[in-house]
Structure 1
Amino acid sequence: MTVKPAPAPALHPFTLRLALGLIGVLIAALTSGLNDRVTDIALADIRAATGISYDQSSWIISAYQAAEVAAMMIAPWFAVTFSLRRFTLTVAAGFMLTGILLPLMPTPAMFIGLRVLQGLFGGALPPMLMTVALRFLPPPLKLYGLGAYALTATFGPNMAASLAAFWTDDVSWMFVFWQVVPAMLIAMVLIGYGLPQDPLRIERFKQIDLFGMLTGCSAMSLLILVLTQGERLDWLDSPLIAGMLLTALPLFVVFLINEWFHPLPLFKLQMLQRRNLTHGLLALAGVLIVSLSGSALPSAYFAQVEGFRTVQFAPLALTIGLPQLLIAPLIAALLNIRWIDCRWMLAAGLGCLVTSSLLGMQITSDWARDNFWLIQILQAFGQPMVILPILMTATSVVAPPEGPFASAMFNTVRGFSSIAASTLVSWFVSHREQFHSNILINNAANRSWLMTASESSQANSSHPLLPDGSVSATENLSGFATLIKHQALVLSLSDTWLLLIGFAAFLLLLTAIVPKRVWPPQTLIQPVSPTSR
């Protein structure tokens, strides 16, 4: 029996009550993203408090992220089936309850298992934010809703360092998990009050894409585990990594074939024939890589070269995060002006990110926080200037009944790409650091720097540690090794900024070729229709 296609969602007037419901979904989605990043940053404190080993603790992050991305694939389908309001309230409550229970788990296995369950609940929340923005906001406000969704990629991740430092240093490591409780309670009250209640559509289970759910979620989860555990287990030299990769790739191919032919799929792949949507997905993946130049690289420098703790370099991340509350609405207002081409806004945003990367390439081991302020300011403006035009371009070719398909694809690409971007940058920094370290050591050996340093130190009669004023060979070598390590890291960070400039250049080229011009949603004449190719 064939299930009738979903009817167009009922139109609801945009009232204060509905606006409060949308704010509730925004709070829930931001809290979900913060929980992931805060836990990652505070992992050392969690290990110390729970007695979990280093190897076990790595699975706390990996398992959560694998479950999170898998949930992003299927959440829009279940939201349509059970109703948006009912489903969002359920996953928000589940996310909060697992957060309460996590610090109370007595064994590492139970802790990791509950973390997987929390990942499923947490991953289901960001797709709901995009879905409600596309469905409920009137055309003049739609870009502001997409700006709220963009905050999950710009505001949340850059607030995580400060929150992690506050809970672990000033309160208790347990609040790394319990911090979600007040935010989720507020979100649930607003969602329950503000969002309208749609009817159940249980008949959709007659054509449930169960095979696609099993193959797609399994493939995506295994790929995430490969990315997050690969460096620790030495990639394909590990039988576990090789086995997961060889299982994930065929499963993903089978999933894509199934989605193309299934009458009620998770991903409507035929929509990728629309150039603007394809560009949006590719550009979103690239932007998530480029945006790491404003967060991951400065953090690596301060942690390893300056020896700063999280609380000491967290203000730099706030320079990007906090201004988003003003910059994102400003960019949305500019994009609502008809004569502003969002492709030019995207190009200008990439220009800001490239400029910040060019400044970062000048890094030396003498840099302090003051050297990063301009880089962070450029990132604060550049990130929303890129992400909002991407969302505007992509969603302009999505009809309202297709919103759940677009939400599933966008959020899955976003979740996977953010993890892949972090893995790529970490791997590149590590291997370039090894390369520069070898070069520096070889140059030092060729020029007899060690001998010169030893003779110079023995001539110094003012050293307080030894009676004759000399410095031990061990001290010499230790200082030399530290100098080499710091200099190698600085050079590798400079190389990484250059790599990210290359990604930005590719995005500029892609934007110049692929997408078509789109106009603001409230414009009466829409040159690009939902079925444009």
Structure 2
Amino acid sequence: MSQSVSIPEGEVVDKPLEPEIPRRHWIALFGGLIGAFMAILDIQITNSSLKDIQGALSATMDESSWISTSYLVAEMIAIPLSGWLSVALGKRRYLTWTTVVFTVASLLCSFSWNMGSMIVFRAIQGFSGGALIPLAFSLVVHLLPVNKRAVGMALFGVTATFAPSIGPTLGGWLTEHFSWHYIFYINLPPAIALLCMVNYGLDDEPLKLESLLKADWLGIITMAIGLGCLEVVLEEGNREEWFSSSFIITLSIISVISLTYFIINELQHKKPLVNLRLLKQSQFAMSCIAYLILGMALLGSIYVLPMYMIQIQGYNALEIGEVLMWMGFPQLLIFPLVPKLTQIIKAKYLVFFGFSMFGISCFVNTHMSYLFGGDQLIFSMILRAIGSPFIMVPLSLVAMEGIQKQEVADASTITNVLRNLGGAFSIAFIATLLDNKTREHLAHIKETLTSVSTDGWYQLNQSAAMFVAKGSDPTTAMQQAKASLTLTMQRDAAIMAYNDVFFMMSCFLAFAAVLMFFVKSNGKPDPMAGGAH
């Protein structure tokens, strides 16, 4: 449709009208984004409260780790199923059902009577929440015209990067001022809003039961087993000492066999669960590598920073949250600028800038000492907050540039799974590297502090004299001095290990920045391509 517009010279040209977006579509989109925000927020929101939950449910530290693991495993399985189920059930019906299940599971988590019940309810919550993330992405593509999708992706980017940044902050604040139960209660108000918005804004679609009956069941089964086992291996591997554990070996073998069958089946199936053939497109494949590294950086930084502040600085949940909020709130000021910048700067250059800033923020933390606390971390948090918005939206533009509209669901599934897998790989890698590097640095410190070291004996005698002054006898004072020196060496070894972790993260991010700089992309949405955005 077009309208005639007079110009000064009296000529008449056709000016295309921008398609008007119905208000109800915007309402439905914001409802979907609320759902994605809740689902991503709940991945991290328990991290600051694990000790409180562990104590309330009389669980061990190893058992409490399954609070996050069960959620992530179930979410990982649900994401690839979302595209198929949304077609079979209809988006409005599927969003409504999953939101109801997610909300009920959240409330059941707060009523858990032991760790077993908590793990079951968290798994149900994760499975239903896993559907909310790709559905929000899908609504951006299906409800918005091409010229508005950068705005929609900016809004989706807020959910994907801002939610994990403030998860520990919000969880710590609620636990500190109320109780750990409130980290699950808070899902109720937004869930009610989501249900109202989605049911008002989306049209009802007929059930397609034939899609359920003719589904790629072999793909579903092998995917669920393979990804589920892989996630457990990555989450529990370090605690189980990796391949010295028969449990980890067994799950690894099952995962490799299942995922191998899954890949073969998907490449041969006429209507696969996930269209892996999209990875033949070099630009999309390179973007997927960037998504993997983005997941590693986002979830890895949220994992390692609280660990450092607890182990080295002795911070509580609220103090950790007050530091991490600097990684989240500044993003809200930057995200509105990103859609406008994508119109004048190639998307791949924005992604390059975003990964570069994220990498620099990690490199800033490679020279920490025991004096490096919350105030010193804020600068790196702000750098991270500046970089993150420039990754999510432009990276979506680059990834989806050659993707057709009917392929968007599959592309969204692949990128979301890879981002989550990146986070799981990162956490496993960081936990293992911290353990190994701490032992390595401690051994090196002990080698340099030999029994004939004058400085070492001087510091030991000084410490012993201090304990004697406090009332200890000389023998006990020397034992206390040796114990204090050992703790100091262990602390310094741990700090050096954290420095190594941040250096490795900065290297991965630098690789992602270079990769995106050289990707062959125009970075502009193609109006003729149905899936461009």
TM-based fold match above 0.5: yes
Q: Deviations over 1:195-228 (max 9, x none)?
A: 2222322222342011100001110000000011
| Residue correspondence of structure 1 range 271-310 to structure 2 within 5 A | 271-291=278-298, 294-310=301-317
Using the alignment, how far apart are the partners of 2:480 and 2:467 within structure 1?
Answer: 16
Q: Deviations over 1:269-292 (max 9, x none)?
A: 121121221112110111222345
What is residue 150 of structure 1 aligned with on the other side?
157
1:164 lines up with 2:171 in the alignment: yes
Using the alignment, how far apart are the partners of 2:485 and 2:393 within structure 1?
Answer: 47
1:28 lines up with 2:35 in the alignment: yes
Shift of 1:335: 0.6
Shift of 1:467: 7.2
Using the alignment, how far apart are the partners of 1:392 and 1:307 within structure 2?
Answer: 42
> SS of the counterpart of 2:26?
helix
Aligned equivalent of 1:330, options 309, 333, 337 = 337
- Whether the 8 Å contact between 1:352 and 1:381 is mirrored in structure 2 is yes
1:516 lines up with 2:521 in the alignment: yes
What is residue 46 of structure 1 aligned with on the other side?
53
What is residue 401 of structure 2 aligned with on the other side?
396
What is residue 250 of structure 2 aligned with on the other side?
243
1:359 lines up with 2:359 in the alignment: no
What is residue 230 of structure 2 aligned with on the other side?
223
Distance change >3 Å, CA 315–CA 109, structure 1 → 2? closer
Using the alignment, how far apart are the partners of 2:186 and 2:467 within structure 1?
Answer: 55
Structure 1, 445-454 or 261-270: larger mean CA deviation = 445-454
Identity %: 23
Instruction: Give the aligned residue type for 1:432.
Output: K
Using the alignment, how far apart are the partners of 2:505 and 2:201 within structure 1?
Answer: 42
Structure 1, 395-404 or 80-89: larger mean CA deviation = 395-404
> SS of the counterpart of 1:42?
helix
Instruction: Give the aligned residue type for 2:461.
Output: E
Instruction: Give the aligned residue type for 2:356.
Output: G
RMSD: 2.3
What is residue 439 of structure 1 aligned with on the other side?
444
> SS of the counterpart of 2:367?
coil
Instruction: Give the aligned residue type for 1:455.
Output: N
What is residue 192 of structure 1 aligned with on the other side?
199
Q: Figure out how many residues of one structure are paired with residues of the other and give that number.
A: 514
For structure 2, the 5+ residue unaligned runs are 1-18
Distance change >3 Å, CA 447–CA 121, structure 1 → 2? farther
Q: Deviations over 1:208-253 (max 9, x none)?
A: 0111000011100000000111111111111111000001101101
Using the alignment, how far apart are the partners of 1:296 and 1:240 within structure 2?
Answer: 24
Using the alignment, how far apart are the partners of 1:111 and 1:480 within structure 2?
Answer: 41
Aligned equivalent of 2:143, options 136, 159, 180 = 136
TM-score, normalised to structure 2's length? 0.91
What is residue 458 of structure 2 aligned with on the other side?
452
Using the alignment, how far apart are the partners of 2:452 and 2:162 within structure 1?
Answer: 49
Q: Deviations over 1:461-503 (max 9, x none)?
A: 98223378x9712321221122112211221122122212221
Distance change >3 Å, CA 280–CA 478, structure 1 → 2? same
For structure 1, the 5+ residue unaligned runs are 1-11
1:117 lines up with 2:124 in the alignment: yes
Using the alignment, how far apart are the partners of 1:55 and 1:497 within structure 2?
Answer: 25
> SS of the counterpart of 1:168?
helix
Using the alignment, how far apart are the partners of 2:157 and 2:210 within structure 1?
Answer: 34
Instruction: Give the aligned residue type for 2:112.
Output: M
Aligned equivalent of 2:471, options 465, 485, 491 = 465
- Whether the 8 Å contact between 2:85 and 2:94 is mirrored in structure 1 is yes
Structure 1, 502-511 or 40-49: larger mean CA deviation = 502-511
Instruction: Give the aligned residue type for 1:335.
Output: T
TM-score, normalised to structure 1's length? 0.91
- Whether the 8 Å contact between 1:207 and 1:263 is mirrored in structure 2 is no
Shift of 1:88: 0.6
Shift of 1:450: 4.7
- Whether the 8 Å contact between 2:73 and 2:231 is mirrored in structure 1 is yes
- Whether the 8 Å contact between 2:406 and 2:531 is mirrored in structure 1 is no
Q: Deviations over 1:52-107 (max 9, x none)?
A: 23332222222221111000010111001111111011000100001112232334
